[in-house]
Chain A
Amino acid sequence: AQTVTQSQPEMSVQEAETVTLSCTYDTSESDYYLFWYKQPPSRQMILVIRQEAYKQQNATENRFSVNFQKAAKSFSLKISDSQLGDAAMYFCAYRRWGLDRDDKIIFGKGTRLHILP
């Protein structure tokens, strides 16, 4: 069965600094998607960034980028120039690519990120 592990329950970073959140996953599939979702205090989960496993190039979205290591099954999120609005719970997630309607997204337990002014 697929699993997603986030080993850092909480992290803190100084405003304007860079922070990296770790995520590892376990799967026997070769084609899948990985996601980072953000859940701020408002509770609404928002997609931060997405990576297709068949693409070697790491995804980037403005200040957010990932380090995708397929062989190591590692998918870390780097936030550059951290801002107070980045304070949130961050969830790493996995979804197998396939034609099966029952495919579901598997989430990690999350990492709470604090931004220090």
Chain B
Amino acid sequence: ETGVTQTPRHLVMGMTNKKSLKCEQHLGHNAMYWYKQSAKKPLELMFVYNFKEQTENNSVPSRFSPECPNSSHLFLHLHTLQPEDSALYLCASSQDSTSRPANVLTFGAGSRLTVL
């Protein structure tokens, strides 16, 4: 496989469940991201990992817990979610560098989450 792969593509969970979203990139990139995409809202950056270290946590509620065991894998652990957390969760990766050109994001196809 190539690119950025996300599983599962669809997930339905109750408010008391615990589940995880998985992202894997096969591009040799050193940075990975979680974005939340809700209807009629801009993409919201949730977490950024550079070289496996979390460098951004955009005031995300603690019911979302990221994990980056290595530079190729990224997880988003979910527990006690709310119905308003229903959204498309997109994973992305990039090769972060201080040299031009700009770091371009490569996205996965997303995980559609529905919280009942």
Within 8 Å by CB of A104, from B42, B45, B100, B110, lies: B45
Main SS of chain B's interface residues?
loop
Interfacial chain A residues near B50, Cβ < 8 Å: 101
- Given A43-B110, A101-B55, A102-B56, verify A91-B104 contact (CB < 8 Å): no
Residues of B within 8 A of A (CB): 40-43, 45, 48, 50, 55-56, 88, 90, 92, 96, 98, 100-110, 112
Once bound together, how far apart are the Cα atoms of A21 and B56, in whole Å? 31
Within 8 Å by CB of A44, from B48, B55, B108, lies: B108
Return B91 CB to nearest CB of chain A, in Å: 10
Interface size on A, residues (CB 8 A): 25
Determine, out of A67-75, A77-85, A105-113, the stretch whose residues face the partner at the interface.
A105-113
Return A79 CB to nearest CB of chain B, in Å: 20
Q: Are B40 and A109 in contact (CB under 8 A)?
A: yes
Return B40 CB to nearest CB of chain A, in Å: 7
Judge if A114 is at the interface, Cβ distance under 8 Å. no
**Nearest CB in chain B to that of A34: its residue:** B102
